[in-house]
Every structure is written in structure tokens, then in C-alpha cells.
Chain A
Amino acid sequence: MKNRIDEMFEKKQNLLSIYFTAGFPKLEDTMPVLRGLEKSGVDFVEIGMPFSDPLADGPVIQLASIDALNNGMCIKKLMEQIKEMRKEITMPVILMGYINPVMHYGIEKFAQDAESAGVDGVILPDLPFDEYVEKYKEMFDSHKLHFIPLIAPQSPDERIRHIDSLAEGFIYTVASAGITGNIKTSVDYRTAYFERIRNLKLRNKAVIGFGIKDNASYKHACEHADGAIIGTAFVNYVKENGTSEEAIKKFVGSIR
């Protein structure tokens, strides 16, 4: 099954993706941010579905999530906001969040609504990959959704190969052992890790995320993988500078 994500990888290199938290800074910011990112030439986006207890996220995204929830964001609201996005947005769109709210929404309904809105992929860090394959892969495939798995520096080679053999879309390479917004390791350590992944010659593309925040870290990631994802730095930026097209263009311009 191929979708916009696969078409993108066929055509482009050095991909730049931006993550933002839905409903932050304001409840109705989702479409303005999507438009701004598309017009700025970003290659694809991840829309964060806020959760009260985001285990894999650092303080910036935690606080953005709490604000978003207080603003009234929920999956139902988000699905309404993006229902008609394909009238204007052409880049691939991925929804990222945690399993509990998705379970409560209903996984099948979630997959259906995501498909009809034109979503291409889903990232749920706390849904174990093997459980996804066993219980939900067929359902996600039938709704043309890729489930994007994470791998981390501590993932053994055989685990990465196992994930690669069953994954579609791309593999989300977590830059260093840690949570979003936090890179503790040296460039050399990360280079060695990225090269270990490259040398595995995976069938899937690899995009690096967690801790990518500026032109230097974006370029470094692109030297060793197919692209990079920026989250925390962008969430921080819109908090300070708002979500106007001009502001977003300026941020993206500073990255590449």
C-alpha cells in the first residue's frame, strides 16, 4: 500500500518535517499552522494530539499539551478541524499521540476518520510495535495509514531489522536516548549511531527526530539519514512568535 509519504520519498531528499501540538497556542491554530508550514516549503508534518501524561516528551511539549487540553483540544475536535484540509494541503500529514486517548476515541473510528481527512500516517510511541502488527496493522492498512515506528540508540540491530521488515512509510530514528527536546549525547556519538543504522541498509527510509532544533542539527541529520523532524524548537517558537504565515516562514527559513 502506497500513500503520499511513499510518493514524497520517491521524489525528494533531505526532508524537513515539523511537529506541532494541535490546539496550541490557540485552539483554532491547527489549520493556520498547516497552511503556514505548507507555504514555507516544509515536506511533511506531524500534528501532535495532546495527552495529559506524555511519557516520551520533555517539558516544552508537556506544557504545550496541557495548554492545548485546557483550550479544549481533543481528538474529536482535531478531526473536525482537519476534515477538509485536503482542499488546500498537499504534503503528507501524520498524527502523533499516545494510545490511551486514541483507544477512547475508538481505534477503528480513529483510523476511519483519519483516512477520510486525508491523513497518511500515525505515530503512537507507547503502542508496542508488535501489538500494532498483531492487532491493528490490517485495519490501518485498509485505511491507507502507515504506522511509523520509533527506534532508539539502545535498540539492538536485530530489533531494528525486525521493525524494518514489517514497517511502512519510514522509520523514526530517535536521535539520542531521551525525551523530546533533550539531546545529551555528543555529535560523535550520534554520528556513530546514525551510521550504524545506515549500515543496516534498511528497506525503509529513516528520518531523525528528538533534539533537532536548528540549521546545524538539521544538516547533520541529513548527512546521515533521509531527513529530520523538528518539534520542541518549533513549539517554543510559536509560543513566542505566534502562528502567522510570516512567522512560520521565518522559522523554516532559519532551518534550511
Chain B
Amino acid sequence: MSKYQVNEKGLYGRFGGAYVPEMLYPNVENLKAVYLDIINSEEFQKEFKRLMVDYVGRPTPLFYASKLSKIFGANIYLKREDLAHTGAHKINNAIGQALIAIKMGKNRIIAETGAGQHGVATATACALLGLKCRVYMGEVDIKRQAPNVARMRMLGAEVVPALSGNRTLKDATNEALRDWISNPDDTFYIIGSAVGPHPYPDMVARLQSIISEEMKWQFTEHTGKALPDYVVACIGGGSNAAGSFYNFVDEESVKLIAVEAAGLGLDSGETAASMARGTEGIIHGSRTMLMQTDDGQITEPYSISAGLDYPGVGPWHSYLNEIGRETVLAATDQQALEAASLLTREEGIIPALESAHALAALPMLKDKFKPTDNVIVTISGRGDKDMATYIHRLMPECE
């Protein structure tokens, strides 16, 4: 057992835990009791792997980006989660949790979504596996992300507007938790990131760990070497980062770089950088770093990227950052847009805005790179969903 992983109490250092009302206690305990046995069972692994290969299209490629490598003075590899079915890493987790739900005898699925990527992934998994699906989405996000709302509805999911608070991702998550409290028997809550009460952060990390499992052998195939020097991923709730870091965390020589959304700037007051600018607190059932007032009221973050626009971060990352195992950087809206342009022009890949934040770390790290360094950047999703923003910000003449 890795010293970096969750302990039997559901804690990563002092972070994590399960701060849920008694109404959810039996559900959470039940999940805690079975999730490892299910995930580790041969039956689950066979079915999960089969769907990852035949349905999602895994393994996703590891691509040597020669032009970026020249620009940044190190060997840059891109892990292409943007090529997974539905366009982002979110599908790995959605299918994994849907299979767990079926094993637990639950046939009604609920999920929260911000940008709609996790909602689409969950609606897809439910269509595939024959499960009823309801997705909570902030009313504001429903307006901002119309194409994904249409996709979810076409896939047969019911999209329910979250009307409380600021009507964005945080409020959609509250609504999903309230639904779960109200429907404890038949319902499984598929959380979209490595957040929430234990065992969710660990369960999501394990399901996403397929990303780094593939990275490892693909990297060796490319280079003949065992380990890269850097792994870089963007971080909203922290699921693609958790999946990218999972199989490297015990390899101390591998530097793990998580890139938060700085929004308009770390000190602008309009930021989503929970680790750089947040404080310790409890959100959605877990103790972690989050954006809040001095009175402990949770505040609305800001980022150009809807997928990073969450006031908290998964507890594993709060812990890895605090003990220095993971380095946290922050990229502004502008830096992310520039990185997206660069990747598009140099390598012909339009990344999701979230993933563009990971790429924006390269200019920040450039001075540290040695020419022999091998760097893997996770491209967590593709940019189709962000075209309206790209057009608005990068090509206003096309509007």
C-alpha cells in the first residue's frame, strides 16, 4: 500500500473523510464496504477493460509532440484523452461507476455537471448500460452549455436545472447530494471528479488510473526508459490529474505538476485556484482546500473554463500539495488561451480549455527543463465544446 494513498479511515493526512448527514451515512458506508472488492474483482476488470478498449477506444495514444519539444527544450509527450469517446477522460469514470452501480443493484443514476462533459459521459454510460439517468446542472450553465445539454437529452438523460445559490457546478453538486439523500434505496450517485465523501475520491482515482497505467508502458515503448521526468495535468476537482499521477506517485523521481485555473489572476478575486488561494474547509463531504470567506461561507470561483470552475479540489491533491509530492501551478485565462492556440497551430490539436491550462505550464517550466527531460502532458479533452469561447476570444472577426 502506497504511503501516499487514502488510509482505512478515508483520510489523506488530515484531508478527506466523509462529512455527510446521517441520512447518507448508510449509503456511503455501503459503498465503502464494497467498492474495492468490486473494482478488484476479475469480473469487473474484464468488463471495464473490454468497454475501455472496444467502446471508449483505449488505449488513447501517447503522442510525441516534436514541435512543442523544440519550443520548450525538452521531450514533450501528449496523453490524448481528447480522443476518448465523448471527447474527454470523464468517460472512464462514468463507465466504471455505472458498472459498480449495476453490481450494487441500483438502476437509477444521478450526476452533477458543470460544462456538461461529465453529464454527457454519464448519460452515455447510462444509455449503453440501460440505466435511468438524471443530471443536475446549474441553471446558468444550462444556458452557457446548450450543445452539451442537447447531447444529454438526446442520450435519454433528464437534465434538471439547479436553481439554488449561484446556479453553477457547486449548486448542481448540492442538488445531486440532496437527491441522493431523498432516494437512498435505488439511486447511485456518479460523482464527476475526485471529490466528495470517502470513498469517492479514491474510487474515482482508481477508475481514472487507467490513464497513467497506459502512459507508463507507452512511454517505455517510445523511449526504452522506465519513467518520465514530469507528468503535467490540469486540475478542477482533480480526476484527470489523479488518473495521470496515480501510477507515478510512488516513483519519487517523477515530478507531478497540477495546474489550477487562475482565472483573471491569482490576486484578482476572480480565480478558481483552490490550492493557491483557498483555505482549509469542508465542501461536499470532504475536508480539503477551497474558496471561502473568513466566515466559512463557500464562494463562487471564476475561470474561463467551466470544467475548472469549482470552489474546491479533491482531498488527495490538497494532501499531495501540502507534503510537497505534487507541485501546483496556476494558469490565467489568457495563458490558457495562448497555450490552446499554440497547440492548435503547432500540432493540429484543438484542446479543451481545461487541458489548455495544463499546456500553459510548459512556458512556466521551460527554464527548468533540461534537453534530456521527458515530459508527459495530459490533454484531458478536446476543444469542440469550447469553440464559442475560442471564436469569441481568439477570432472575434469570425463571430
Report B-chain residues with C-beta under 8 Å of the C-beta of A32: none
Interface size class of A (residues with CB under 8 A): 35 or more
Q: How far is the CB of B364 from chain A (nearest CB, A)?
A: 32
Give Cα A214–Cα B178 distance, bound, in whole angstroms.
24
Is A178 part of the contact surface with B, judged by Cβ < 8 Å? yes
As a 0/1 sequence over residues 281 to 312 of chain B, the CB contacts with chain A under 8 angstroms (1 = contact) are 11111000000101111110000000000000
Q: Known interface pairs A53-B174, A100-B281, A177-B23. Does A74 touch B295 (Cβ–Cβ under 8 Å)?
A: yes
Interface string of A174-212 (1 = CB under 8 A from B): 100111001010000000000000000000000000000
Question: Which segment of B12-20, B67-75, B85-93 sits at the interface?
Answer: B12-20
The answer to whether A149 touches B165 (Cβ under 8 A) is no
Query: Shortest CB–CB separation between residue A98 and chain B, in angstroms?
Result: 8
Complex Cα spacing A36 to B158, Å: 45
Cβ of A69 under 8 Å from chain B: yes
Decide: B23 and A152 in contact? CB cutoff 8 A: yes
Answer whether residue A221 sits at the interface, using C-beta atoms and an 8 A cutoff: no
Instruction: Determine if A53 and B22 form an interchain contact, defined as CB atoms under 8 angstroms apart.
Output: no
Q: A101-B296, A154-B184, A155-B26 are in contact. Are A55 and B281 (CB under 8 A)?
A: no
What residues of B have a CB within 8 angstroms of the CB of A159 in the complex? 25-26
Question: How far apart are the CA atoms of A104 and B23 in the complex, in Å?
Answer: 24
Among candidates B182, B283, B295, residue contacting A104 with C-beta atoms closer than 8 Å? B295
Within 8 A of A (CB), among B175-198: 177-178, 181-185
Whose C-beta in chain B lies nearest to the C-beta of A56? B21
Question: Hey, which chain B residues are within 8 Å of A174, CB to CB?
Answer: 22-23
Q: Does A128 count as interface, using CB distance less than 8 angstroms? A: yes
**Are A53 and B298 closer than 8 Å at their CB atoms?**
yes
- B contacts with A, residue count (CB < 8 A): 34
A 74-131 contacts with B by CB, 8 A? 74-76, 99-105, 125-129, 131
Residues of B1-40 whose CB lies within 8 A of A: 17-23, 25-27
Q: Is the CB of B296 within 8 A of A104?
A: yes
Also in contact, A150 and B21, with CB within 8 A (given A62-B164, A155-B26, A179-B182): yes
From known contacts A100-B281, A177-B182, A179-B178, infer whether A152 and B295 are also in contact, taking CB-CB under 8 Å: no
B297 near A154: Cβ-Cβ < 8 Å: no
Pairwise interchain contact B19-A75, C-beta atoms closer than 8 A: no
Contact status B281-A104, CB under 8 Å? yes
A103-B282 in contact given A69-B297, A155-B22 (Cβ < 8 Å):
yes
Give Cα distance in the complex from A69 to B17, angstroms. Answer: 27
Which of A102, A163, A178 neighbours the largest number of chain B CB atoms within 10 Å of its CB?
A178
Instruction: Please state if A100 and B178 are interface contacts (CB–CB under 8 Å).
Output: no
**Which residue from B17, B284, B296 sits with its C-beta under 8 Å from A102?**
B296
Query: 9 pairs across A/B with beta carbons < 8 Å?
Result: A66-B165, A74-B295, A75-B295, A100-B292, A128-B25, A154-B23, A154-B27, A154-B184, A177-B23
7 pairs of A and B residues whose beta carbons are closest in the complex: A104-B296, A101-B296, A125-B21, A150-B22, A52-B297, A152-B23, A178-B182
Additional pairs, 15, CB under 8 Å, beyond known A99-B19, A127-B19: A52-B165, A52-B298, A55-B20, A55-B21, A66-B165, A76-B295, A100-B281, A128-B17, A128-B18, A150-B21, A152-B23, A154-B26, A155-B26, A156-B26, A178-B181
Residues of A within 8 A of B (CB): 51-53, 55-56, 58-59, 62-63, 66, 69, 74-76, 99-105, 125-129, 131, 149-152, 154-156, 159, 163, 174, 177-179, 182, 184
